[in-house]
Every structure is written in structure tokens, then in C-alpha cells.
Structure 1
């Protein structure tokens, strides 16, 4: 093992099976695409052309309160469109969801990494731990990361990459595992999150459209039994895919030599002192958090309900909370180790962390325009409604109907990344449709959430794809080798495995007539 970091190994696996060969082709073709900045710029131009071609194409669907909603494709290749592009360009960039999250987290994570805290901690604790255990732990944490909503798609992959690099393992593997967990496993969790309440609220608005479902439950826990058990399922499946499929592919990538990689030496006395300082700081920070969280009227609880979940200042402020955590323990470690001697050293370490996000910031500019223009034209909504109407016309029942909804949800997810936006369109159609066939809204919602979650990591419209490309560029020896193809080739195995096994898991619940959540059955009584 290299003392400087990840030591590439000869790849003896890629191309030895039909599936690996398919992934090889996907990676090769995908990496022939232009750089991410140019690619998203080209996609934005494609949106302009498509919006002009299909201008006026209209659809209708039942919205909130049972009211009909009419939507049509808007062209951006006209005077109004030009004015929108020019006046909203800066706003689109500034409001790009991952931008602030990434910059803030990279500052703190970069500080903790640059001072040597992450590398030293991993060396101290994780030497000798089998790789599958580390992989499973990241999956478990990442899948449950939706408690922090989309923020988990930033800090979990970044932290996983740093941990893997510190262990002398491929950081891109750590990133791919964490992204699959947080994105493709987004709907599963042990602790109900704000997303569960949001989706259930939309389901609630649709159950009264037909008498069959009028008295059906639609609370935030109607899928809890199914989704909490799915955490274990996806952790096992994801770990197997990572170790048997994705890891062998990534051995061929050339990583930069890393300054904080694990080596075979013991932790130095200076590093031990730094860990002690960091440990006491972490303990003090956690105690302060508990003071703000545990009392019924704690500042970080919801001021109206006094609860922590599904919504509270604690969950909404998870990024600042994590920022200050890594910021303070990074400084404490640096002081104890002796690498931070004066206050002017702190900005230097912070800037090292921020430098790793520069390639992402460049890509984010064009990605922000592409996604904003795509949403502005209403193309996504039209695709969703057309797809829903097609599924209705097929007249499926039973398992075939459930599978069809899962596949439709996954297909729409390629174009509409917001889970609530998709469900606002699909719920008024499919909740009554399933109800008339004898199925509870809980089943309809579960089927929808499988499809919309499993595909999250392979859609280019995911806000956090540029973040992953930025992490790859940060660690890879040659940024020219970083491409959408490499990212997709690492995520497709997870997406397919999650989609298939998760679907089978739901079909098993149906076959055994197991409740999906408290008071939420499969079939209407």
C-alpha cells in the first residue's frame, strides 16, 4: 500500500462478463461526450429547440382539490423567452440548489481533511476493518441520510470519498457508494423524514377523488414498515454490487497521490494530541446540541409542534450544524497537532478545501441554466402526464400494474427530479385508479416511491451530478478522464439492482398481504 494514498491495482475484472462489457461501452461512449460544462450547455440549447418545436402542446391533469390543471409547452425561442434567459441567468445560477451546500461543506470538510484529522482518525480506528463492513456502513448512513433531505447528497459522498482516500482505498468508489445510497436509496429510512410527510400530504389530497379510498389512511407513516425494512435490503444489495461489480471497474482509474493516506506507521504523538483535542471539542459540541434538542421547548425543535421530525430547525439547519462541527474539530485537531499555530493559518486550510469545489462551480453554471430552462418550458410536466395516460390505457391489474407504475415513475424521474412535483401530477391519476381496482393508497405511494428513488442517481437532471463530477475531478490524476460515462457506469449497476430487488420486495409484501405501515394495508377492505 502506498504511503501517499490510493495505490491503483491492475483491473482483472472489467470486460470479463457481458454486463461488464455493456458498462465498458457506456463508460466509453459517455466519456466521449464533451466536458460537463459544455455538455450541460449543449443540453440547454437542445431544450430551446425542443421547446420551439413542441410549443403549445397541451395536457390536463387533476390537481389539488380535484381541480383541472392545464399545462402547455412554452417556447424560449421568442422575445419572451430571450428576456427570461437574459434576466434570470444570474438568478438561476445563484438559486441552483447544490451550489451553497457544496461550497459551505467543502470549506469545513476541506479544513478537517487538510489538517490531517480525517486521515488520522481513519488510521486510528479503521485499520483492519474488512472493506465490506465499511461499504455497508456508508450505505446504511447514506440511505438514512434523507433525514437531512438533499443535503445528504453533498456531505455523505464528499465524506465517503475523503474516508476512502484516507484508508488508501479508491475515493471514487467511496463517492459512488455514497451517491447511490443517498440518491437511489432516497425513499428508504429508519426515521421518518420531511419527504415522507410531503409525499403523504399529496396522497391525502388525492384519496377523496373516488369513494373507494375516501376513508383510507394517508399519514406520513403509511409506508414505514416497507421503507424501514428496505434499508436493510438495499444495504445488503448495494454492498454486494459495490464489492462485486463497481469496485473492480474502478481499479483502472489513476488517482492523485494523496497527502493524508493511511500508511503502516503508528499514529504520532502529535496526532494523538490532535485527536484528543478534537475529541473533547466534538463532545462539547454534541452536548451543546443536546441542550438545544432534548428539552421540549429546545431552540432547534419546531417552535409550533415542539417536535424534531418531520420538520424542525434542526433538520432544516443540518448543513450549518455539520459545517461548524467539522470546522471546530478541524481547528482543534490542527492546534493539537501543531499545524495551526496562529489564526491566519485557518483561512489557508479553508481555502484548500474550497479549491476542490472550483470545477463543480464552473459546471454548476451551465447545469443551472439547463435545469431552469427545462422546468420553465413545462416539457417535464407534459412528459409525465402523457406517460400516465399511456399507462392508464394499458388496462393492467395486480403485479403488472404495480410494476408498470414503478417503471413509469422511474422513466418520469429521468426528466423531473423533484419527487413531490412528479407525485403532484401522478397521484390524482393513480391513487383513484388503484383504489377502483381494490388497492390502498399506501400501495400506490410505495410503488411510486420505488421508481422515483431508484433512478435518482442516473438521471443527468439530478442537481447533484455536477457535484459528483467535481469530486471525481478532485481525486483523479487527469481531469480529462473524468466524464459522465464514468459516473453513469458506476451508478447504473446500483440503480438496476435497487429497482429490481426493491420491486420484488414490494411484490413479496403483496403476496403475503403484509401491512406497509401502521394501519396501512395492501388491499382495500
Structure 2
């Protein structure tokens, strides 16, 4: 019976188009809906912030099939793409991350930390490294997860449990971290674009969920460790292993780590010197630190940081022998981003059509009024939204695609109910992360199945889902509990990011 519903989930999910085609289809749906709804005269009155004053305006559905709208859309296709905020922030941060990743710095760091761990700490360390690896996108999937199996075998433990712990950290803990990664600017960009429908001057920083992410890191470590050692591993039983030979960190890599550490200290010291003093180059010049050049351009500084330590490591371990090598690393990283760039192009067109039609604005206002009427607001609404996102993630596993589609609806809707875009984003990320580890549609899921079948040939997709299901349930319940705690005490979610929406000034 269990296999039946798992098979149904996989069957239905496989029927969905890829995310790029999904945006094309959604764009066509919006065009058709705008024609029908405009003929029906659908409109709504809403409050809009302009010149620091709240005014009431009426929004009507715009028929996108009008000749004037077709001409406007055709003329704006290129601008929609080049001006789409997520494009720039993701492109820039990948330049820095690319050097740090391709030079070998990130994978060596993961191996060095894991291989120097004591037996009793191996599970929490593997989960923690999995969480931390998301600053470099997919590096955790290809480096840490197979290493988790080897480490568990080295301590006479079942390798599949090691794979499960690592996978839970990498994918289930996707929205937790101690550092800001490549996903944070992307999510913030989509959130800010959606928030502009209600408040054009509202700013969502890449650090919008940072404090919550830090707390989430410790939560996922504790819960992931408990599930691995008390639920998953006992069910797997004993495992007969051959002798394991660990791949040691080479002298070149150790030298690279030394160079990277020195360069990181120098870089941070230099930035502090340029930020902390009053009226400094990148610091507070009188408008407040949050509006300083440093905070306004934090993506650039993140890129430079990863570039500096990546190049230093590459020089130390001899993977970078000339400037050409560093450029090649950046080019390779951008090439791997090609699928995302295609996705972004069509997402940008969808966003233009959705916003121009006013359908998103009308949905958000009418939706918020409906929720007010039935009394579903505040914390219960956030909990329902987390569960809804977790369910949707079973079928649409690409986080950027989901948030690009959901943000224009839910961010303005929740703003109308007094909830901040940062809170909506945090709730989305909880739901998005928790079911990553049980959906066959997640891009790396097949890779995890292959890793597990290496140690148990009888394991199939349904078996792997059942192994990972306790993590999903435990993560979802505990993470909802954490955001409830955050809401109850009205704690800041990140830098200048709060639970309740306050209009920009």
C-alpha cells in the first residue's frame, strides 16, 4: 500500500513539464485569463503607498490581447530579461563561488572537517557540513553525500545511514546555514520584486532570513542527528564492510587552505576598516548602516570574498597557475548556470505579463480579504502556507521556479494582512526544504538512489523515500515549531527584517 501512493506521487510528478516550459504555459494561461477576466470587468480597490502616503486606488484586469499590450510586451521582452533583478544577483555571486568551487577549496574544506571528526560527533558533523554546503549550490550532493557513507563505514556503521544523514543535511537543510549563500540573494530578489506591487520602495536584503537560518542550522543538526541514530540506522541493521582507505588531504591542498585562511583574514580586516569608522568609504554616512554602501552592495562584497579565498587556495594547491585558470573557473561556473538563465528568461516574461495584467494584485487583495473574513490570519496562516509549500514541492522541486511563481501572489497577499515579505519568504523556504528529500522530482534524487544502491542493490525509489520520510516529518514539525516561537516573541528574522510588515519610508 505504501508503495502505491509513492508510485502515484512519482507518476503525477513525472507528468509535469520542466520548470522552463511551466513558465511558458503559465504565461499563456495569464494571457487567456486576462482576456476573460477583463471582459467580465473584474477589479478591486486596494491601498497603495505613494510619496509616503497611503491612498486608495482601483485595479482592473488588463486585457493582454489588446493590440497596444501586444506591442508593449514585444518591445519589452529584452528589457524584461536584462532588468530582471534575480538575473544580476545570481550571476554575480556565481562568479565568486565558481572560483572557490572549481579550485577545490569547498570540497577540500568539507573533507578536512569531516575526516578530523571523532566518532561520537560524526553524525552531527555530517549533517552540519551538509547544511553548510548549500552556500556552494550542488557541491554537497557530489562531494559530501558519498563521503558520508565512507565515514560511517569507517566507524563500523551502516553506509546508507551516512548517506541519509548527509542527504538530510544537504537537501532537507537547504534553507538553514550560518552563512549567506547563493540562494539568499535569489530569494530576496524575487521577494522584493513581488513586494513592489504593494510598496514600490520596499527592500528585501539577502540577509532577510539570516538570524532565522542560523537558529535553523542548530535545529536541523539536532533533529537530523536524532532521526539518523534513533530511527533510520536501527532499521537498517548491521553492514558487512571491506577495509576503508581514506583519501587524505594532500600537501598542496593543505598549503592552499593556509593561503585561503590568510587571505580571508586580510580581506575581512580590510572590509572592517572600510566599513566601521564613521563616514568611511563603505560605512554609514548618516543615513544609517542599513543604507550604507556596504549593505546596499553586499552581493559584490560576497563575490569578492569568494574570489579572493578561491584564488588564494588555487595558487596554494597549484590548480591556478595563471589568471587564465581563474577566468576558466568562472566561465565553467557560468556555463553550469545556463539552465537557470533559460529559466530566468521565461520567468521574467511571466512576471511582466502577470504584473501588467493586474491579476496578481487582484488575487492578493481578494485573497487577503477572504482570509480575513474566515479568520485565517497571523500564525495559523503561516503554518498553512508552510504545509502548502511542502506539498507543492513534491511536484515542482526547483526552488527558484516555485518562488518565482508563488511570490507575486503570496507576498503581496500577506503584506495586506500585516505580514512581512521576509516572513513569507522564510515560511516558503521551510516548506520547500523539508520535502526535498522525498520527492523523486528533485534533480539529485536519482543520484542519491544510485549512491544507496551501491551498498544495497535491493533499494528502489520507494525504499529510499521511506528511509528519508522520517527526516521530512521531523524537520517539518520542528521547523514549524521554530517559526511559531519566532512569531510568538516577534524576533527579527534577519538584518532589518521583521515579522510584521512596516511600509517603507
Would you call these one fold, judging by a TM-score over 0.5?
A: yes
Which whole-Å CA distance do the structure 2 matches of 1:239 and 1:359 have between them?
32
Structure 2 residue aligned with 1:181: 176
Which whole-Å CA distance do the structure 2 matches of 1:453 and 1:61 have between them?
25
Which of 29, 33, 36 aligns to 1:53? It is: 36
SS of equivalent residue, structure 2 residue 417 = helix
How far is the alpha carbon of 1:90 from its aligned partner?
A: 0.9
Which of 308, 327, 331 aligns to 1:347? It is: 327
Q: Is the 8 A contact 1:51 1:377 kept in 2?
A: yes
Which whole-Å CA distance do the structure 2 matches of 1:229 and 1:498 have between them?
17
Mapping 1:5-44, distance limit 5 Å:
25-44=8-27
- What runs of 5+ residues in structure 1 fail to find an aligned partner? 1-14, 143-153, 205-219, 250-261, 428-444, 460-468, 479-485
How far is the alpha carbon of 1:60 from its aligned partner?
A: 0.7
SS of equivalent residue, structure 2 residue 59 = strand
Aligned residues: CA RMSD: 5.1
> For residues 102 and 163 of structure 1, do their structure 2 counterparts lie closer, same or farther at Cα, with a shift above 3 Å needed?
farther
Q: Is the 8 A contact 2:275 2:283 kept in 1?
A: yes
SS of equivalent residue, structure 2 residue 286 = coil
Which whole-Å CA distance do the structure 1 matches of 2:4 and 2:72 have between them?
44
> For residues 44 and 175 of structure 1, do their structure 2 counterparts lie closer, same or farther at Cα, with a shift above 3 Å needed?
farther
Structure 2 residue aligned with 1:130: 122
Mapping 1:143-182, distance limit 5 Å:
155=135, 157=137, 164=144, 167=147, 176-177=171-172, 179-181=174-176
Structure 2 residue aligned with 1:114: 102
> For residues 179 and 86 of structure 1, do their structure 2 counterparts lie closer, same or farther at Cα, with a shift above 3 Å needed?
farther
> For residues 299 and 175 of structure 1, do their structure 2 counterparts lie closer, same or farther at Cα, with a shift above 3 Å needed?
farther
Which whole-Å CA distance do the structure 2 matches of 1:389 and 1:366 have between them?
31
> For residues 236 and 37 of structure 1, do their structure 2 counterparts lie closer, same or farther at Cα, with a shift above 3 Å needed?
same
How far is the alpha carbon of 1:30 from its aligned partner?
A: 2.4
How far is the alpha carbon of 1:162 from its aligned partner?
A: 7.2
Q: Is the 8 A contact 2:108 2:249 kept in 1?
A: yes
Which whole-Å CA distance do the structure 1 matches of 2:189 and 2:78 have between them?
29
Mapping 1:14-413, distance limit 5 Å:
25-55=8-38, 56-64=41-49, 65-127=53-115, 128=117, 130-136=122-128, 155=135, 157=137, 164=144, 167=147, 176-177=171-172, 179-181=174-176, 234-235=216-217, 238-239=220-221, 264-305=246-287, 307-308=288-289, 310-394=290-374, 396=375, 402-403=378-379, 405-406=381-382
Alignment of 1:425 with 2:416, yes or no, is yes
SS of equivalent residue, structure 1 residue 361 = helix
Q: Which moved more, 1:415-424 or 1:337-346?
A: 415-424
SS of equivalent residue, structure 2 residue 176 = helix
- Number of paired residues? 404
Q: Is the 8 A contact 1:119 1:166 kept in 2?
A: no
> For residues 173 and 504 of structure 1, do their structure 2 counterparts lie closer, same or farther at Cα, with a shift above 3 Å needed?
closer
Q: Is the 8 A contact 2:367 2:413 kept in 1?
A: no
Q: Is the 8 A contact 1:124 1:267 kept in 2?
A: yes
- What runs of 5+ residues in structure 2 fail to find an aligned partner? 150-162, 233-243, 390-402, 433-440, 451-464, 493-497, 501-505
Calculate the TM-score normalised by the size of structure 1: 0.61
Structure 2 residue aligned with 1:481: none
Q: Is the 8 A contact 1:113 1:162 kept in 2?
A: no
**How big is each residue's C-alpha offset from its partner over 1:303-360, in whole Å with a ceiling of 9 and x where there is no partner?**
223x43x332222222211211221222222222222223322222222222211111
How far is the alpha carbon of 1:87 from its aligned partner?
A: 0.9
